[in-house]
């Protein structure tokens, strides 16, 4: 029997590496590829709570998932306890393993409305949100936080304790303040302090780019798991604890083709265009030549695209089967 790395409420989680929620990236096709490679939980891109209530037909794709992606966590953002609760109650019907509240988005338009990292400015509201949702939902409630709004207001210990005391089941901590955006270095010492301050599982997040970083952040923070964002876009094999350079071209090809197929299945013909940004990462080591890059990224059909990709990977024609 495998032993779980930690629990998400009552749900055992097998594995301690988790793909981070990323708007524009952690959609069903990419999430499911990462899950197959070893990501232990599928967090969705953030979902605007007000949209769930007012225009669900426009954003339904954000909470679709494949059954075997479970445990799936739906991440929502909003600023009022009532809107978050109503959205969460509706989304709960789609069977997530947990609902996560985004308390980390640094976008000024979102923060100004008191959502995302803006919630860190109102600890009392954080308490109300977590208490209300954990009482009313049947699934666990989790939160993803930053260290605070800015250097002068790093209230992560307080927020973490509030999340735990009001029923939160797990915390993901990105070791930067809102003001830092994605600049500077993530503060792993602060994440270690959160691990000390709470008993619920903590996922350490920020600046994990290599397999060595995984072991370093785990040793440094004592966290239950590691959440990986940009490093996974560059190298989804990081979830199998493999360096990108160690992945042979045949394997890159197989994963790339499967990801493209899922993108086409999920988005229709638009799936090719949406796949380009991932393809540029899968094939980054082979894209130094600008003409080759342009040829790949402007390929008009999936078959053309795959032919270019196979050529770049140096694979024989036989491997260039068109999308299954
Ligand atoms: C393009 C992009 C989109 C993101 N979207 C979200 C989001 O929807 N929800 C969220 O909680 N964090 C979001 N983040 C933050 C990441 O989850 C993560 O906290 C951050 O990138 C730091 O981790 P990393 O150094 O491993 O990338 C986003 C980050 C990036 C780069």
Token pair listed for 57: 């037909």
Q: How far apart are the C-alpha atoms of 109 and 287, rounded to whole Å?
A: 35
pLDDT tens digit sequence for 3-56: 999 999 999 999 999 999 999 999 999 999 999 999 999 999 999 999 999 999
Distance of CA 40 to the CA centre of its chain: 11
Which has more confidence, 23 or 292? 23
How many CB atoms sit inside 10 A of residue 268's CB?
Answer: 9
Q: What CATH architecture does domain 6-244 belong to? A: Alpha-Beta Barrel (3.20)
153 belongs to the catalytic site? no
Q: Are 279 and 309 within 8 A, CB to CB?
A: yes
For ligand 1, atom 19, the nearest C-alpha belongs to 174
Burial 62-75 (b: 16+ CB within 10 A, else e): bbebbeebebbbbb
Confidence band for 324, pLDDT divided at 50, 70 and 90: very low
pLDDT tens digit sequence for 227-283: 999 999 999 999 999 999 999 999 999 999 999 999 999 999 999 999 999 999 999
In DSSP terms, 35 is beta-bridged to none
Q: Tell me, in angstroms, the distance from the centre of ligand 1 to residue 82's CA.
A: 25
Token pair listed for 85: 């609760």
> Does the beta carbon of 24 lie inside 6 Å of ligand 1?
yes
> What is the model's pLDDT at position 170?
98
Q: How far apart are the C-alpha atoms of 231 and 85, rounded to whole Å?
A: 32
Q: How far apart are the first and last CA of the chain?
A: 35
Of all helices (H) and strands (E), which one includes residue 101? strand 98-103
pLDDT tens digit sequence for 111-143: 999 999 999 999 999 999 999 999 999 999 999
pLDDT tens digit sequence for 178-224: 999 999 999 999 999 999 999 999 999 999 999 999 999 999 999 99
pLDDT at 80 over 90: yes
> What is the model's pLDDT at position 321?
54
In DSSP terms, 17 is beta-bridged to 226
pLDDT at 318 over 90: no
> Does the beta carbon of 38 lie inside 6 Å of ligand 1?
no
pLDDT at 156 over 50: yes
Prior bond of 71 cis (ω within 30°)? yes
pLDDT at 2 over 90: no
In the block, residue with structure tokens 């967090």: 43
> Does the beta carbon of 174 lie inside 6 Å of ligand 1?
yes
- Ligand 1 atom with the shortest distance to the CA of 208: 26
């Amino acid at each position: 029997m495998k032993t779980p790395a930690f629990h998400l409420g009552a749900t055992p989680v097998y594995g301690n590496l988790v793909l981070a929620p990323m708007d524009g990236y952690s959609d069903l096709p990419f999430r499911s590829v990462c899950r197959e490679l070893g990501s232990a939980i599928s967090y969705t891109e953030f979902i605007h709570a007000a949209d769930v209530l007012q225009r669900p037909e426009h954003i339904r794709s954000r909470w679709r998932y494949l059954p075997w992606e479970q445990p799936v966590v739906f991440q929502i953002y909003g600023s009022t306890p009532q809107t978050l609760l109503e959205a969460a109650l509706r989304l709960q019907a789609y069977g997530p393993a947990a609902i996560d509240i985004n308390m980390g988005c640094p976008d000024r338009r979102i923060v100004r409305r008191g959502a995302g990292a803006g919630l860190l400015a109102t600890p009392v509201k954080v308490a109300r949100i977590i208490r209300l949702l954990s009482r009313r939902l049947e699934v666990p409630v989790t939160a993803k936080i930053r260290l605070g709004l800015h250097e002068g207001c790093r209230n992560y210990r307080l927020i973490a304790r509030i999340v735990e005391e009001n029923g939160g089941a797990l915390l993901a901590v990105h070791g930067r303040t809102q003001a830092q955006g994605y600049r500077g270095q993530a503060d792993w010492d602060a994440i270690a302090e959160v691990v000390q301050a709470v008993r619920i599982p903590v996922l350490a997040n920020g600046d994990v780019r290599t397999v060595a970083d995984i072991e370093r952040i785990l040793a440094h923070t004592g966290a239950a798991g590691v959440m990986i964002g940009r490093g996974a876009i560059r190298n989804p094999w990081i979830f199998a604890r493999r360096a990108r350079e160690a992945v042979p071209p045949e394997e890159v090809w197989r994963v790339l083709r499967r990801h493209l197929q899922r993108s086409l299945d999920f988005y229709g013909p638009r799936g090719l265009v949406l796949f380009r940004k991932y393809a540029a990462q899968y094939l980054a080591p082979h894209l130094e030549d600008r003409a080759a890059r342009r040829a790949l990224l402007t390929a008009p059909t999936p078959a053309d695209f795959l032919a270019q990709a196979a050529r770049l990977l140096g694979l024989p024609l036989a491997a260039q089967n068109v999308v299954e």
